[in-house]
């Protein structure tokens, strides 16, 4: 059974009194204990899709249509107070830059304890004990002492572990990890991703993992959805996307990755479209090497074959 379903989600931004669509008929599902990766170039709609689940959208963004079903309820229709109880406790966010999420004026412990008191209804020594426990779970050494430290006294990787600890403390059922390793070196990246996998396994936590790093996705995700210009162009099991990519954009992305058997990288010619660009047909058509006549005239629907969704006329 799915813990989360996004159904036909359409979202737009208002700019200069004009409406510009940013997401087009997004359909995704997430099972308990599963890791779903959203992959694609910057600006393709990965983060705004995830923020729609949390209902943390910019003031000029609005849902045009669609549903986001969490535990049988449409999140988009919930009163704000009920949504606030879900946000942070049941659905948590691990942001790209933890330094912007941690208050530099307060200790790590005071911020973590506040989260525990609000969402776990623990007070005093019990809250402190719980804070130390979750810091130890995310492998922060000497947690009893480090709980008194300030964010600037932690490295980037350690700050990211504190944010993950907050999600564990709340016993979140879904964690949205928005490029959680971007600012970290390769060794720390591997440690953070290993930690997320441990949490997924131990607590049966579901993850939405946002990334442009196909290597991390291949190593960690169960399912993957490739996004381009606000569309999901391909969705399947993660290993299927790597071993048998179907959409021309997915194939092109994989060809940009370093290969030990070749020193040549194949860039994707052209640039992703702006949100203000209008396309009558497929948005990838101007950059596609496999395009056919219909591609410039009609937007391809999702063609489903062997549990894979491919939005490309070549797979009709």
pLDDT score, position 58 = 93
Q: What is the DSSP letter of 267?
A: P
- Predicted confidence (pLDDT) at residue 61 exceeds the cutoff of 90: yes
Burial of 61 (0-12, 13-18, 19+ CB in 10 A): middle
Local confidence band at 263 (pLDDT 50, 70, 90 cut-offs): low
Cα radius of gyration (the chain)? 21
**Domain chopping of the chain, boundaries:** 2-90+172-315, 98-171
| Span 116-160, pLDDT tens digits | 888 888 888 899 999 999 999 898 999 999 999 999 999 888 888
| Span 65-109, pLDDT tens digits | 999 999 899 999 999 999 988 988 899 998 877 777 888 999 999
| Span 173-201, pLDDT tens digits | 999 999 888 767 788 888 888 889 999 99
Contacts with 282 (C-beta within 8 Å, 6 or more apart), sequence order: 288, 291, 295, 296, 299, 300, 311, 312, 313
Q: Among 30-44, 226-240, 265-279, 287-301, which stretch is predicted with the lowest mean pLDDT?
A: 265-279
H or E stretch including 134? helix 124-137
What average pLDDT does the segment 51-67 reach?
A: 95
CATH superfamily of 2-90+172-315: P-loop containing nucleotide triphosphate hydrolases (3.40.50.300)
pLDDT score, position 230 = 95
Bridge partner residues of 68 (DSSP): 6
């Amino acid at each position: 059974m799915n813990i989360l379903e996004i159904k036909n989600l359409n979202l737009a931004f208002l700019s200069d009194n004009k409406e510009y669509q940013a997401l087009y008929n997004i359909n995704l599902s997430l099972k308990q204990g599963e890791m779903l990766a959203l992959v694609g170039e910057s600006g393709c709609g990965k983060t705004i899709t995830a923020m729609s689940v949390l209902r943390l959208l910019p003031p000029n963004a609005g849902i045009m249509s669609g549903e986001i079903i969490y535990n049988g309820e449409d999140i988009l229709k919930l009163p704000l107070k009920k949504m606030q109880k879900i946000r942070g406790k049941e659905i948590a966010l691990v942001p790209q830059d933890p330094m912007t999420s941690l208050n530099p004026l307060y200790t790590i412990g005071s911020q973590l304890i506040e989260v525990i008191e609000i969402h776990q209804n623990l007070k005093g020594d019990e809250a402190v004990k719980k804070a130390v426990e979750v810091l130890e779970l995310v492998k922060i050494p000497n947690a009893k002492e480090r709980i008194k430290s300030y964010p600037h006294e932690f490295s980037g990787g350690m700050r990211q572990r504190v944010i993950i600890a907050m999600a564990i403390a709340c016993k979140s059922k879904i964690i949205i990890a928005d490029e959680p390793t971007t600012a970290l070196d390769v060794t720390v990246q591997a440690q953070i991703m290993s930690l997320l996998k441990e949490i997924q396994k131990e607590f049966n936590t579901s993850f939405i993992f946002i990334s442009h790093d196909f290597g991390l996705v291949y190593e960690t995700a169960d399912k993957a959805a490739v996004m381009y210009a606000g569309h999901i162009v391909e969705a399947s099991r993660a290993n299927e996307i790597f071993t048998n990519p179907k959409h021309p954009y997915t194939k092109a992305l994989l060809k940009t990755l370093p290969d030990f058997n070749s020193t040549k990288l194949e860039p994707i010619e052209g640039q992703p479209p702006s949100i203000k660009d209008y396309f009558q047909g497929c948005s990838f058509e101007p950059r596609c090497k496999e395009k056919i006549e219909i591609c410039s005239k009609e937007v391809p629907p999702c063609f489903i074959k062997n549990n894979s969704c491919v939005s490309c006329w070549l797979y009709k």
